[in-house]
Structure 1
Amino acid sequence: MATVLLVDDDPNALNALKELVGQEGYRVTTAADGTDALRCALADPPDVVISDCMMPHMDGLALMHAMRHNRALAHVPLVLVSAMVTPPADANVAGFLRKPFAIAQLLAILRRVRAP
């Protein structure tokens, strides 16, 4: 069973995504910001990370850079979620979803980068 780490500072969004992704057969872990996500990912490496961009302490882009510079996490696909129209030019990500998004879009990206 593939593990998905969901990262968002909005607890309502995080809980809703956790429920929906979990129903698709994924093991789901969560983090409230990039700092927490990095700690969680190092302790229990996920198969995929889905992270909001705008968060306190460490945003999604800083998390992306930290993951790409860590040997244990550099290969883990990262999907960024943001209200931005397009991903930043330096985004090294497996996918990008613009808020608001349909859960079907998220699930399609998850299927593409990692089967349950």
Structure 2
Amino acid sequence: MANVLLVEDEADLLHALEALLILEGHNVRTAENGAEALHAVSQAVPDIVVTDAVMPGMDGIRLVRELRAAPLLAHIPVILTSAINVPRDLPVFAFLHKPFSAIELVGLINRLLL
């Protein structure tokens, strides 16, 4: 069981992914943008972050850069999801192009946390 921080601005997708990950046995916290995610990480460091790239306010790309710049947070695996092309040089563990399958996301999380 992992502690997953799920960051997504589309409410329906956020809740569907949250329910799926809970069914898979993970503890899930959610945030609707990068600023909320940084606050959540400051409260409790997750085992993995799954974040959308494009969100209002602080987007997922900036969130990744902020996490990598913080020595105590730089180790957290990040999966970046996006429907658009994003810079491939971002220091993330994996990219998932939207739409992605639930099985693909769960499998990736499980592989990264082994």
Decide: shared fold, TM above 0.5.
Answer: yes
Per the normalisation by structure 2, the TM-score is 0.95
Aligned residues: 114
**Residue segments in structure 1 that go unaligned for 5+ positions in a row:** none
**Residue segments in structure 2 that go unaligned for 5+ positions in a row:** none
Percent of aligned positions that are identical = 41
Q: Which residue of 2 aligns with 1:101?
A: 100
Question: 1:90 Cα deviation (Å)?
Answer: 2.2
Q: Could you say what secondary structure the match of 1:39 adopts?
A: helix
Question: 1:42 Cα deviation (Å)?
Answer: 1.3
Following TM superposition, where does structure 1 have runs of at least 4 consecutive aligned residues deviating by more than 2 angstroms? none
Tell me how large the CA RMSD over aligned residues is: 1.0
Following the alignment from structure 1 to structure 2, what is the Cα–Cα distance between the partners of residues 42 and 94?
21
Q: Could you say what secondary structure the match of 1:38 adopts?
A: helix
Deviations 1:25-72 (A, max 9, x none): 110000010000011011110000000000011001000000001122
Q: Could you say what secondary structure the match of 2:30 adopts?
A: strand
Single out whichever of 106-115 and 91-100 deviates more from structure 2.
106-115
Q: Which residue of 1 aligns with 2:63?
A: 63
Per the normalisation by structure 1, the TM-score is 0.94
Q: Which residue of 1 aligns with 2:27?
A: 27
Q: Residues 1-116 of structure 1: matches in 2 within 5 Å? A: 1-85=1-85, 87-115=86-114
